[in-house]
Amino acid sequence: MERIVLAEDSAFLVCDDIGDIPFGNTVGLGLYYLDTRFLSVLETSINGQRLLRLSSSAEHNYMANIQLTNPTLVLEDGRPVPPQTISVRRDRFIERGALKERIGLFNYNQFPVPITLSITFAADFRDMFDIRGFHREARGQIFDPACGGEPLTPACADDTITLHYLGLDGVRRETNLVFDQTPAERELVTADEFQRRLAEPLEGALYRFGIVEEAPPGARVSFPLVLEPDRPYMLTFYVSPALQGLERHYARATFDVSVRRVKESYDVWGASSTRISADNELFTEMIYRSQVDLRGLSSPCDAGYYPMAGIPWFGTAFGRDAIITAYQTLSLNAGLARGALRYLAANQGKQDNSWRDEEPGKIMHEIRRGEMALRNEVPHTPYYGSVDSTPLYIVLFAETMDWLADDQLYQDLLPHVERALEWIDCCGDLDGDGLIEYRTRSTRGIRNQSWKDSYDAVQFPDGRLAEPPIAAIEVQGYVFDAKMRLARLFRRRGREADAERLTREAQLLRQRVEAAFWLPDEQFYAQALDAEKRPVPVVTSNVGHLLWSGLLDEDHTRLVVQRLMSGDLFSGWGIRTLSSLSPNFNPMSYHNGSIWPHDNSLIAAGLRRCGYDREAAEIITGVYEAGLHFRYYRMPELYCGFSRDDRYRTSPPEYPVSCSPQAWAAGSVIQFLVTLLGARADASKRRLYLRPHLPDWLREVRMGNLAVGAARVDLLIRGSSVEVLGREGQVDVIVE
């Protein structure tokens, strides 16, 4: 099913390609706000018939334009209305958590056409976890009279319909439907009517989550019209989520004024970001798409923005995702790093809480605000089941200081960084062997707590799952990198003794990794160690992150690079998560053979760090060319890991439920450019270092308003040469 996705201000909409949310869909379509589906049905029809799609576009994230037309209509007097003679245009956007839509109709016949425009609404108010198939013991009143009452009947006023839900958490949730003209007809759509339709399978349903459909009551509004030739007709309506105790005021500004307000917020984002263009127009478009996606996924917070992970399943704050996204995009807009660092500091673990896998100093994994979280059916309030968020937080902190040299930010965050370091050395090392392990204490926690967090992501070649506590290879690299980066930062700040201690600890960790993880037969590193300290001897992309972390010695770096670039890992479209020679390989799996752009962005950055410029460019080229096959040139969360076959002009197959847009996928495009330019900053010395290595398809790059500390610089990069076009403030550009 082709999806249209809009996101803005903690709300997002996922609908089909004509703009509807059909009842009975099994792919999670709906309007969501704060992890609750506030609209589960939105169906439009003319004279009872579904409209036909001509085109649709949601390039701007907050706005969609959908051009529809009529099928053959038969009027009451028997006259036919030919197809494609009535234009139906749907313009819609999200602002301040509300969906706003304008439907425009135009009759191209030479005679009046009487029609009835009908719109059906319903809201099941289901929790995001519930939609994804998490088991629930009970539901709210709207679905289970035994829990405290009959379903809440929609309430109607002149131009407003309100759908209600009183949850088991005691919170009243409402969906308010407001029309700019009073409907001629309003009728209640009963749950029984919806239930009868479940026998009719939804056309195009590709992927099912095992959802047990439930049918809340809804409402249908009708507008009898006579469409005169050459005379437009407009209808506007708003869909506004509301929660008890959360004040939300919606000024009834005109449709066009509201659109302009959202556009202006994007303009502010763009003005504060680096301007990037290239001689390759497709790459320029891909960069632009990533910039827009990052803004659409981000919510303003203290002195910056906090990026949600991805739409539809992860439209909330994550730790690991936000950290990596912010790291990838420091050269684009440091507001993401400021916002992520401060938000995660505010939610840093404070106590030992096994239900939430929380420990003092630990950086959170994920936070949710739906009914299931508020009732403690899931531990995400927030949940801390992520072993790598904490060392990655330190990595981001140090890299942010390299780009900003912000003394106030340093002083504000340093206590949180030191608490994160304490967690690594104490709670993170579960058995005192100097390695960082994870295990789940929560009864509803995540089994695997590194970035490959699906249940089967860490398994032996015979299919046996590795038992926790598990020491993941890439996490050891993150800890090494965190300590080395922090040591360099402390030296600049005069903390020489702490810098020496951290350096010694990092070097000792390097020795332990070499002794415990190296696989002589594979000439590669194990993915992980299980509870018995047995290596999990599978060849995965995780090891490529050690290049980014700088943990490997020169000889093992060479061997790792050779294997990463071999055909079992490098598909031509990017590096697979798992070698195709593994018995567990499946190119259509989530983590056992698929390709993730963010994974490749860190590996490519590591290759350049280690001097493998050609290999880095080859990986970037493969992922870039894969991105050209996706709608809007938008990088998805992941795609399938089939081999590229240029003989038959194959394209990279999409993963059925990949998040798109997705934050660290969008950030990957920015990171690819940073990697190709060899860009690194030392704002404390007012320096920007560049070591360009551009592939054949990218010969020239312009960057304007690039921030290094308080300074801004405009650059033109041609091949390996760099020209400074303009400078505001003091910054030296050094070409290495």
pLDDT tens digits for range 610-639: 999 999 999 999 999 999 999 999 999 999
46 backbone dihedrals φ, ψ, rounded to 5°: -120, 120
Q: Does residue 130 share a domain with residue 61?
A: yes
Residue 247 lies in a domain: yes
Q: Does residue 184 share a domain with residue 311?
A: no
Find the CATH number of the domain harbouring 411: 1.50.10.10
Q: Does residue 529 share a domain with residue 607?
A: yes
Residue 736 lies in a domain: no
Residue 268 lies in a domain: no
Given 261, 284, 315, the domain boundary residue is 261
Give yes or no for a contact between 194 and 25, defined as CB atoms under 8 angstroms apart.
no
Q: Does residue 192 share a domain with residue 148?
A: yes
Residues 727-734, mean pLDDT to the nearest whole number: 96
**Average per-residue pLDDT in the chain?**
91
Q: Does residue 315 share a domain with residue 237?
A: no
With a CB cutoff of 8 Å and minimum separation 6, the contacts of 648 are none
pLDDT at position 407 is 96
pLDDT above 50: residue 544: yes
- Top pLDDT among 122 and 211 is at 122
Cα Rg of the chain, angstroms: 27
Residue 24 lies in a domain: yes
d(Cα 528, Cα 536) in Å, to the nearest integer? 5
What's the token pair of residue 200?
A: 């009719």
CA dihedral 505, 507, 508, 511 (to 10 degrees): 160
Q: What is the extent of the structural domain holding 114? A: 4-261
Q: Does residue 298 share a domain with residue 256?
A: no
Given 214, 237, 261, the domain boundary residue is 261
Q: What is the percentage of the chain residues whose pLDDT exceeds 70?
A: 93
Q: Does residue 445 share a domain with residue 417?
A: yes
Residues 655-662, mean pLDDT to the nearest whole number: 88
Predicted confidence band of residue 247 (pLDDT cuts 50, 70, 90):
low
Q: What angle do helix axes 663-677 and 597-609 make, rounded to 10 degrees?
A: 20
Residue 731 lies in a domain: no
Q: Does residue 281 share a domain with residue 223?
A: no
Q: Does residue 328 share a domain with residue 230?
A: no
CA dihedral 514, 515, 516, 521 (to 10 degrees): 80
Q: What is the pLDDT of residues 635-654, one digit of tens each?
A: 999 999 999 998 888 899 99
pLDDT at position 410 is 98
| Segments in 297-334 forming alpha helices (H) | 319-328
pLDDT above 90: residue 188: no
Which amino acid is located at 610 in the chain?
A: C
pLDDT at position 60 is 83
d(Cα 682, Cα 405) in Å, to the nearest integer? 8
In three-state form (DSSP H/G/I as H, E/B as E, the rest C), the secondary structure along 662-731 is EHHHHHHHHHHHHHHHCCEEEHHHCEEEECCCCCCCCCEEEEEEEEECCEEEEEEEECCEEEEEEEECCC
pLDDT above 80: residue 249: no
pLDDT above 70: residue 199: no
Given 208, 235, 261, the domain boundary residue is 261
Residues 163-172, mean pLDDT to the nearest whole number: 85
Q: Does residue 282 share a domain with residue 257?
A: no
Residue in 481, 335, 333 with CA at minimum distance from that of residue 421: 481
Mode of pairing for the β-strands spanning 471-472 and 711-718: unpaired
DSSP letter assigned to residue 198: G
Residues 495-500, mean pLDDT to the nearest whole number: 98
Give yes or no for a contact between 601 and 675, defined as CB atoms under 8 angstroms apart.
yes
Residues 340-344, mean pLDDT to the nearest whole number: 96
Residue with tokens 């009959």: 150
pLDDT at position 253 is 61
Q: Which long-range contacts (CB under 8 A, 24 or more apart) does 648-657 make?
A: 652/573, 652/595, 652/626, 653/587, 653/588, 654/630, 655/588, 655/590, 655/594, 656/206, 656/207, 657/27, 657/207, 657/313
pLDDT at position 245 is 64
Give yes or no for a contact between 639 and 652, defined as CB atoms under 8 angstroms apart.
yes
pLDDT above 60: residue 114: yes
Give yes or no for a contact between 731 and 708, defined as CB atoms under 8 angstroms apart.
yes
Q: Does residue 287 share a domain with residue 219?
A: no
d(Cα 153, Cα 571) in Å, to the nearest integer? 55
pLDDT at position 139 is 58
Residues 556-570, mean pLDDT to the nearest whole number: 97
Structural domain count, the chain: 2
Give yes or no for a contact between 239 and 175, defined as CB atoms under 8 angstroms apart.
yes
Stretch among 41-55, 236-250, 392-406 having the lowest mean pLDDT: 236-250
Q: Does residue 286 share a domain with residue 241?
A: no
Residue with tokens 């989520």: 241
Q: What is the pLDDT of residues 679-707, one digit of tens each?
A: 999 999 999 999 999 999 999 999 999 99
pLDDT above 50: residue 146: no
Residue 456 lies in a domain: yes
pLDDT at position 530 is 98
Find the CATH number of the domain harbouring 56: 2.70.98
Residue 729 lies in a domain: no
Bridge partners of 578, per DSSP, are 540
Mode of pairing for the β-strands spanning 732-735 and 687-690: parallel
Residue 224 lies in a domain: yes
Stretch among 130-134, 264-268, 322-326 having the lowest mean pLDDT: 130-134
